[in-house]
Amino acid sequence: MIRTAVLLLGLLALTACGVRPPPPGDPRDVAALAAEIRGLSPNIDPAEAARAAQVAYRASFDLSRAYGITDPPLVHNAKVNAGTRPRGLCYHWAEDLQALLDAEGFATLQTARAIANSDRRFFIEHSTTVITPKGAPMQAGIVVDPWRDGGRLFWSKVPDDPRYVWVPRKQVLKETGRIRYVQRTAGSLVPLPIE
């Protein structure tokens, strides 16, 4: 009972203070991300790395405004789940950021989606977008995650992320039975076993 009251007071305090939507990326931050992307492979076009960094920072700013971000992430999640905000769950950020990056039509970069904590009972599952060199596995990329800091873009190499252990989204969905593949046989679709 006391623990519940303390938790409710903590959530009320977080809601009362709120956070402001983040400013657009500082040019030094954008340049640092571009350099990190370029460093993933000698085959990456420096202009594409710069554009990907600009899109990631600009999208974080624009999406935070579109989602109405005024609170820390978990408080905002509660508002989305209660129907008082339209979007802003982690998978919304990942989905929308990936779509904006993919719309650039990069020749030397690609995006992937990743999920963390899908196998952890007491942690919230988290989704993000990853930028990788074309043809490289997700683990060779950079996490771009605007959700965790309430619209401020966090990024790091996938294995260096201090908070999450990332797994390819497709793998998680297959392992948890949330996606099945189908095969067309004689004009009908037949479910395939989950691999």
Per-residue pLDDT of the chain (195 residues; tens, 9 = 90+): 454 433 443 444 444 444 566 667 899 999 999 999 999 999 999 999 999 999 999 999 999 999 999 888 888 889 988 999 989 888 899 999 999 999 999 999 999 999 887 666 666 778 999 999 999 999 999 999 999 998 999 999 999 999 998 888 887 777 666 665 555 566 665 555 444
Q: Which residues contact 15 (CB under 8 A, 6 or more apart)?
A: 71, 75
Query: CB of 86 within 8 A of CB of 80?
Result: yes
Helix 90-102 / helix 73-82 crossing angle, nearest 10 deg:
100
Query: CB of 155 within 8 A of CB of 146?
Result: no
Other Cβ atoms within 10 Å of 72 Cβ, number: 17
Query: CB of 89 within 8 A of CB of 115?
Result: no
Which residue ranges make up each domain of the chain?
Answer: 22-178
